[in-house]
């Protein structure tokens, strides 16, 4: 195998990778067929996760895909959000200052609450609890935890389950409250999807994705794979270079790849520790979402956004997945994403500042 192919696969054999994606596709189709919220994403994730936990093997290997593959498609979400940036974004953002300020209080409060839960209910050691409780900055949390010699498997499980449970619980809750599936049908209904795509539009959107990711990565932006394409896409639409958005099938494929990749993270986890992490994570997520609901009740009026949008803006899930929910519900994805970007930055800043007390 040539060097570039080895780099692409990163130790994964083609046959197990293909089988894993096929399983994810079957799960995604099943999730779509039964009307699960974000059916393709959740269906593929759950199918692969169950197979990974019970030890299903493809040609002797547990379900697995190169984790960096998902980053090739996440820019699609950023471009889609950028397409919905309104022309009066500055005026709207000036109204959002109360909830943006609330993020500054939410992050340390959620971190402290989760830390106490992991220490007192799960008897997890203080160092591991501290980094597992960070309400954002998944990669940064793992890097700092490894430097401090935390129990890495537990930190990874708790951080990962924070993302997974938000992805599962938030769409399900909205579906129950609103009475309709989130992301049903083809996956996600895109605003402006009726605008025909021409070669120029494809070039502009692809350029926003590639150049945006590269530029944001070079400048060390938070969540560069999403924030860079979002910024350039928003600029391109504001300047009138295009009015098109990524087609529905691109969003559906993104859900499939992201869901399948997330599901593989459960491979090789010891069941007793997994159940402990699951119980702790459920309690921590419920507490965090309760804080988000309280903030939404107080601030939905002042920021002139629906309470559901405020809740979604404070849900401590993955920024890409929460953005997909926002697009699906035709909320202000820009509002939601901006708060999540701030949450990630603050989570890392607060965690580093608190190291002296650990």
Contact 208, 195 (CB under 8 A): no
Task: Give 27's pLDDT tier (boundaries 50, 70, 90).
Answer: very high
Phi-psi domain of 62 (left: phi exceeds 0; alpha: psi -120 through 50; beta: other): beta
Can you give the pTM of this predicted structure? 0.70
160-164, 173-177, 317-321, range with the lowest pLDDT = 173-177
Instruction: Give the whole-angstrom CA distance, residue 205 versus residue 243.
Output: 10
In b/e form, how buried is each residue of 224-262, taking b as 16+ CB within 10 angstroms? bbbbbbbbbbbebbeeebbebbbbeebbbbbbbbbbbbb
Strand, helix or coil for residue 61? strand
C-alpha closest to that of 140 among 355, 356, 358 = 355
Residue range 59-110, pLDDT digits in tens: 888 888 887 777 778 788 888 877 777 666 677 778 888 999 999 999 999 9
Residue range 39-66, pLDDT digits in tens: 788 788 889 988 888 888 888 888 888 8
Contact 146, 164 (CB under 8 A): no
Taking the alpha carbons at both ends of the chain, their separation in whole angstroms is 47
CA atoms within 13 Å, Cβ hemisphere of 348: 16
Contact 38, 255 (CB under 8 A): yes
Residue range 173-188, pLDDT digits in tens: 777 766 555 554 434 4
Residue range 223-271, pLDDT digits in tens: 678 778 888 988 888 888 888 888 888 888 888 888 888 788 777 777 7
C-alpha closest to that of 331 among 178, 216, 124, 202 = 178
Please report the pLDDT score of residue 185 as a whole number.
41
Please report the pLDDT score of residue 11 as a whole number.
62
Task: Give 38's pLDDT tier (boundaries 50, 70, 90).
Answer: low
Task: Give 37's pLDDT tier (boundaries 50, 70, 90).
Answer: low
Q: Which residue has the higher pLDDT, 22 or 240?
A: 22
Residue range 267-314, pLDDT digits in tens: 777 778 788 888 999 999 999 989 988 998 899 888 888 888 898 899
Beta bridge mates, 58:
61
Instruction: Give the whole-angstrom CA distance, residue 50 versus residue 164.
Output: 13
């Amino acid at each position: 195998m040539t060097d570039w192919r080895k780099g692409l696969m990163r130790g994964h054999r083609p046959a197990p990778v293909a089988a894993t994606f096929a399983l994810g596709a079957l799960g995604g189709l099943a999730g779509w067929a039964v009307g699960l919220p974000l059916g393709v994403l959740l269906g593929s994730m759950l199918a692969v996760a169950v197979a990974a936990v019970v030890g299903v093997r493809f040609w002797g290997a547990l379900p697995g895909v190169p984790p960096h593959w998902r980053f090739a498609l996440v820019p699609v979400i950023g471009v889609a959000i950028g397409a919905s940036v309104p022309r009066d974004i500055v005026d709207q953002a000036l109204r959002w200052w109360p909830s943006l300020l609330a993020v500054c209080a939410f992050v340390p409060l959620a971190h402290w609450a989760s830390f106490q839960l992991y220490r007192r209910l799960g008897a997890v050691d203080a160092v591991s609890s501290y980094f597992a409780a960070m309400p954002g900055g998944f990669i940064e949390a793992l890097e700092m935890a490894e430097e401090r010699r935390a129990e890495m498997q537990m930190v990874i499980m708790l951080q990962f389950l924070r993302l997974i449970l938000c992805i599962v619980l938030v769409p399900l809750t909205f579906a129950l409250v609103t009475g309709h599936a989130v992301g049903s049908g083809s996956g996600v209904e895109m605003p402006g999807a009726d605008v025909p795509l021409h070669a120029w539009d494809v070039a502009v959107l692809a350029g926003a994705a590639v150049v945006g990711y590269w530029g944001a990565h070079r400048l060390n932006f938070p969540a560069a794979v999403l924030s860079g394409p979002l910024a350039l896409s928003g600029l391109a639409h504001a300047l009138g270079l295009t009015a098109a958005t990524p087609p529905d099938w691109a969003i559906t494929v993104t859900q499939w790849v992201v869901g399948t990749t997330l599901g593989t993270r459960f491979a090789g986890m010891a069941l007793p520790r997994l159940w402990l992490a699951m119980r702790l994570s459920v309690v921590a997520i419920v507490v965090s979402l309760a804080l988000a609901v309280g903030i939404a009740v107080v601030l939905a009026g002042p920021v002139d956004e629906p309470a559901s949008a405020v809740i979604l803006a404070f849900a401590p899930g993955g920024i890409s997945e929460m953005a997909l929910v926002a697009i699906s519900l035709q909320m202000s994805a820009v509002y939601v994403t901006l708060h999540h970007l701030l949450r990630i930055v603050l989570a890392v800043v607060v965690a580093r500042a608190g190291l002296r007390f650990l």
